[in-house]
Every structure is written in C-alpha cells, then in structure tokens.
C-alpha cells in the first residue's frame, strides 16, 4: 500500500487545480480517474456544447436576419462543425494532462473505491492519505422507459460523437441541456421536437423565462410537447419511434435523453470510510466541504452543489483556503449561472418568489427587451430584464435576464450583490448608449417611478 499526502478522486474542474497546487508545493498527490481527464466540462459539458452552439447560433442568426432585410442561403457542413467541436475538446483535454504531469501528480487511470478508512484502491494501486477529496461529479439520469435501454439514444456524453446531422431529432427533457442542444440541432437544420413531462421548460425558473424561450424555440420551428409522457421507445431501420401517453407516435433519426443528473457515487463504496450519502446518493457535506469522515472532503455536484464549472472551481479555491487554515465557507459567494439558448438566460441570486418565501420584504421591477433601443435596432427584442430588491435595505437580492448575451450582462448584478451595494448605485450610473447594459440603470429607475411590474 502506498502513502500520499493527498488523494483526489475524479478530475473535474475543482479536483484538477487542487491536485496540481498540492503537487507543486512538494506534496505527494495521487489522482484517480476512471475515464478521461477534465471531467464533464471539458469532455461533454461546457467546452463541446458551447463550441457546438457557436456554429448553431451563427446559422440561426443568419436565417433570422431576414427581419433586418438580409436574405441568406445557409449551408451547414455538419461533419466539419462536429470535427471542430471535438478538436477543441481534445485540445483542452490534453492541456489538463500536461498540467497534472508537469506538476508531479501521479495519475491512476482506474475506477477508485474506498477499501478502508481513508484508503482508496483503483486497479492495482492502493493508497492511504490523511486528506482525500472526492470530485466525481454527476452523469445522465436515464428514465425507465420500456424499450429505451435497447436503443442507441444520445445523452450529452455521446451527443458530440455525431458525424451526420439527423434529419429529425427528438429531445426528452425541458432542462437547459435539452433546450441548448435541441435548439442547436434545429438551427443546424434538423427538424426538432422537445418532449416535456410538465407544463413548463426550465421549471425551476420563473414562468416568464420558460414562456419566452418557448417563443424563441417556435421561431426555430421547434415543436414543444407539454404534459407529455413517453410510454415506449422502439428503434428499427435507423429510426426511433416514441409512443406517447395519449397514444400519439413521434418518429426521428436521433433521440436525445436529457432528463436530469445523478451523482457518481455508486461504485465509491463510501461507507467503507464512513462517508454518508443522502437519499438521492449525493455526498453529505457541511459548510466547509467536510464529509462525515474526518479528512475526507467532497466538492462539485457530487456533493449536491449546483452543477456548474465555476461552482466547482470556486469550491477548489475555498477548500484550498480551508486546508491552509483560513476561514472560508462554501456559502460565502454570490451564485450566478446561465443558459446558452438564444435568447440566453442570465441568473443571479433570488427571484421575487424565493425572497418572499424567506420572509423578505421584497419587490421587483421588469423591463422588456422590446423597450431597449439596442435590442430594437439589432432585432433582439425577445426577453426581459428583472431585478429583485429588499425594500428594507435597498440591496439587490437577485436578477433574471433573458435576452441577447444575457450571460455577460448578468455579471454587473453579480458584482453589485457581492459588494453589498444598493440599487441606487445602478440608478445613478451612466451607461453607454446604445448598449444592452444601458438598460440596467433604466431598470433601476423604475423603482423611482414606483413601477413594480
């Protein structure tokens, strides 16, 4: 049995820098990875999906430019699109390996599991360490639909291996993965339909967010089936047939399943080291990332954290500080995130409903994109900006932005909320005309007008 100063299980975006930093500081570090280095972000998440959407949204904008008087003929070279996606992914993956090796991290390519208290075994290697960090992430949650398992359905993991554009595509799931990739396929020329069990897409967001995105999807000729359950899946002669609960049938050459995530803890044997899981299989941690076993920590979405790369990376920064004796917590941050449909969704902090549920005396103001000069001029008039404030302190509690490049604009709110500044700063600011950012002071000025839309 080997001994190390640090064991990292999983090479996600939090585990990689932590392992590298410890190794560069002269510590003996062993990293176990059962698959490819870089975790979901690099291999089948952020990196390939955004490279894919770069092409898809370019095609979509060109088609919709007819509203500006521009009539273009679009020819999509789908194999070239996907080859570019994979080349970027592979380049990033190789960079991760070089970083770890240059730092002196010992990489063990094997599935790791606990075989004792703070003892990890993977392949032929068994290691004991006083500090262990679990960063194994999540994977696709596949619904138990009769016939599905026997078909070559896609998940976000296998999606980027597509070589040819499917003439027709079906997507099960109305979350951000299903919407992003579904809209992407449609914009590249695939006839796409999305199946949603409930009555909303992005059902964790405010209802207006989903309503706006459905309008955008319809502009791309995407049909969305609400309150629909898939009863049966069959695959013959290169075509999927989905039988719905109302006995309707849908057919397509590709099927993407995007119905949620599950934690990668099934093979960890966490109980061998005294690490407890919750009822869904996520690792239980406290506000300092500590599990129920002394010396064992968990970061990222395997611990029930929001499934975003920037969250995992910030987990790394906080855990590194904690291990160095600093007083940091996983809750000492302002969380923002985005959905990369078009229009984009940018979110930070609380919605009005969330604030009121916490007993906060809150209100919100809303400005439609159709009232913003730049949006009208550029033809991006679908969406809205919304800000939530605390009436008692005048501090900004959250913001929901739906519009062109909303993922960039929302950072203004993130900085203001982090600084604890009131909405008066935004109201007094002079932003450049004509820009999308110019609308943020206008949004704040609605509070002066007592216009609580």
Report CA Rg, the chain. Answer: 24
**Residue 173 marked as a ligand binder:** yes
Active site residues: 433
**Residue 360 marked as a ligand binder:** no
The answer to whether 220 and 195 have CB atoms below 8 angstroms apart is no
**Residue 398 marked as a ligand binder:** no
Distances (CA, A) of 117 to 130, 272, 358: 10, 6, 40
Q: What does the alpha-carbon distance between residue 198 and residue 201 come to, in Å, rounded to a whole number?
A: 8
**Residue 2 marked as a ligand binder:** no
Q: What does the alpha-carbon distance between residue 323 and residue 6 come to, in Å, rounded to a whole number?
A: 11
The answer to whether 398 and 388 have CB atoms below 8 angstroms apart is yes
Q: What does the alpha-carbon distance between residue 372 and residue 353 come to, in Å, rounded to a whole number?
A: 26
3-class DSSP assignment, residue 386: strand
**Residue 319 marked as a ligand binder:** no
**Residue 260 marked as a ligand binder:** yes
**Residue 180 marked as a ligand binder:** yes
3-class DSSP assignment, residue 16: helix
**Residue 346 marked as a ligand binder:** no
Please, what's the b/e burial string for 363-387 (b: 16 or more CB within 10 A of its CB; e: otherwise)?
Answer: bbbbbbbeebebbeeeebbbbbbbb
**Residue 176 marked as a ligand binder:** yes
**Residue 174 marked as a ligand binder:** yes
Q: What does the alpha-carbon distance between residue 118 and residue 275 come to, in Å, rounded to a whole number?
A: 10
**Residue 426 marked as a ligand binder:** no
Residues flagged as binding site for FAD: 50, 301
Detail the residues annotated as belonging to a binding site for NAD(+): 173-180, 260
Binding site per annotation, positions: 50, 173-180, 260, 301
């Amino acid at each position: 049995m080997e001994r190390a100063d640090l064991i990292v299980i999983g090479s996600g975006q939090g585990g990689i820098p932590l392992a590298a930093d410890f190794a560069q500081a002269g510590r003996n570090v062993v990293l176990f990875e059962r698959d490819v280095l870089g975790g979901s972000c690099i291999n089948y998440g952020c990196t390939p999906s955004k490279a894919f959407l770069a092409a898809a949204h370019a095609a979509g904008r060109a088609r919709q430019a007819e509203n500006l008087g521009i009539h273009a003929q679009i020819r999509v070279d789908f194999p070239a699109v996907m080859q570019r996606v994979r080349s970027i992914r592979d380049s990033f993956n190789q960079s991760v390996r070089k970083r770890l090796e240059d730092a002196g991290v010992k990489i063990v390519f094997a599935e790791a599991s606990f075989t004792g208290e703070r003892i990890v075994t993977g392949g032929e290697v068994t290691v004991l360490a006083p500090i262990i960090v679990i960063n194994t992430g999540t994977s696709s949650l596949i619904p138990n639909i009769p016939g599905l398992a026997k078909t070559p359905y896609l998940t976000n993991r296998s999606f980027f291996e597509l070589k040819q554009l499917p003439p027709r595509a079906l997507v099960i799931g109305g979350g951000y993965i299903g919407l992003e990739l579904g809209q992407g396929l449609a914009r590249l020329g695939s006839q796409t339909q999305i199946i949603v069990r409930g009555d909303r897409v992005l059902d964790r967001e405010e209802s207006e967010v989903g309503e706006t995105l459905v309008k955008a999807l319809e502009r791309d000729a995407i049909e969305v089936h609400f309150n629909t359950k898939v009863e049966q899946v069959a695959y013959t002669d290169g075509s999927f047939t989905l039988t719905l609960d109302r006995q309707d049938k849908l057919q397509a050459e590709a099927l993407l399943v995007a119905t949620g995530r599950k934690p990668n803890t099934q093979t960890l044997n966490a109980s061998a080291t005294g690490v407890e899981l919750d009822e869904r299989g996520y690792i239980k941690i406290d506000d300092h990332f500590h599990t129920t076993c002394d010396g064992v920590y968990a970061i990222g979405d395997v611990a029930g954290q929001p499934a975003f790369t920037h969250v995992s990376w910030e987990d790394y920064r906080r855990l590194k500080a904690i291990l160095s004796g600093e007083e940091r917590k996983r809750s000492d941050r302002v969380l923002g995130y985005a959905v990369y449909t078009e229009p984009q969704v940018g979110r930070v902090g609380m919605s009005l409903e969330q604030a009121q549920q916490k007993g906060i005396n809150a209100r919100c103001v809303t400005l439609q994109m159709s009232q913003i000069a730049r949006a009208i001029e550029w033809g991006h008039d679908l969406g809205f900006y919304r800000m939530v404030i605390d009436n008692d302190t005048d501090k900004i509690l959250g913001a929901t932005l739906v519009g062109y490049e909303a993922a960039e604009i929302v950072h203004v709110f993130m900085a203001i909320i982090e600084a604890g500044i009131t909405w008066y700063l935004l109201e007094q600011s002079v932003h450049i005309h004509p820009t999308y950012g110019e609308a943020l002071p206008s949004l704040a000025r609605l509070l002066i007008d007592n216009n609580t839309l």
